[in-house]
Structure 1
Amino acid sequence: MLNVMSTHAPWLERAAERPRSATTEPQHAATGAERTAAWRVANDRRRRPESDVVAMALLLAVVRDPTPERQLFEVMHEAIEDLVGRGFERDEVHGVIRRWRRRVCSQATKRT
């Protein structure tokens, strides 16, 4: 069979001028950098902070007043108010913290 295919190979080639059979233009696959850029633009439009921004706000809230009797609620409130004051949407900040907490809690339950 290999011998037959090698002798007929020129006859089996498709014509270069053949019309395209696809009904739409070929799709361009987005690169990782393009997907990341689109995600960041969507975050900016929604005024949603990235998780590292929330983490830094929490750390700043702890460092600003490191008294041991301070409650977690007070630290969270200060961090959220800081982020809202910088222009982020309160609901989006709450959403980031909620997703972060779910991810951390689910990882902790997987380890035990």
Structure 2
Amino acid sequence: MRREEIDRVVAQIDQTRRTEHWRDHDGRPDGRAFRPKPTGRIPPEVVRAQTRCRTAAWRVRNDARKAPDSHQIGMSLLHALVTSRLSEMTWTDRDLVSRMLVDLQARGFSVVEARNVLRRMRTRYVDPADRAGEPDGDCGAPLPLAGEEENLPF
């Protein structure tokens, strides 16, 4: 092919690309992972106020959708844990409790103190009749009887 012919084919392909394969930049999602900082410096007080406003709007949207946040989900899981009987807990449930305790220990918390917190919550939220024979703030663990279920993991 001669040079003129090559230039003509390239121009034709480019023309086809522009007319048939154009992108609507206004209708596309923003694909930038790192946004450039604004050119002018925004005072820190204004940035904090904007953040508070965004957070408040996010909370209102979550409230309207009745969507729980991670703290509320965590507290519900904790409530389910402390109000469960050991006989009702599956192996998976016990595994999650042990994973929680290992995670807390890895982050520098005392497992003994974590168990104490769980025990105090169980004492507070479970009826005393349902806790008969369990250790609480006033007494220790009961003496095991033959065939009796083992103690909770906390």
Give your verdict on TM over 0.5. Answer: no
TM range (shorter): 0.3 to 0.5
TM-score, with length taken from structure 2: 0.26
Whichever of the two has the greater Rg, that structure is 2
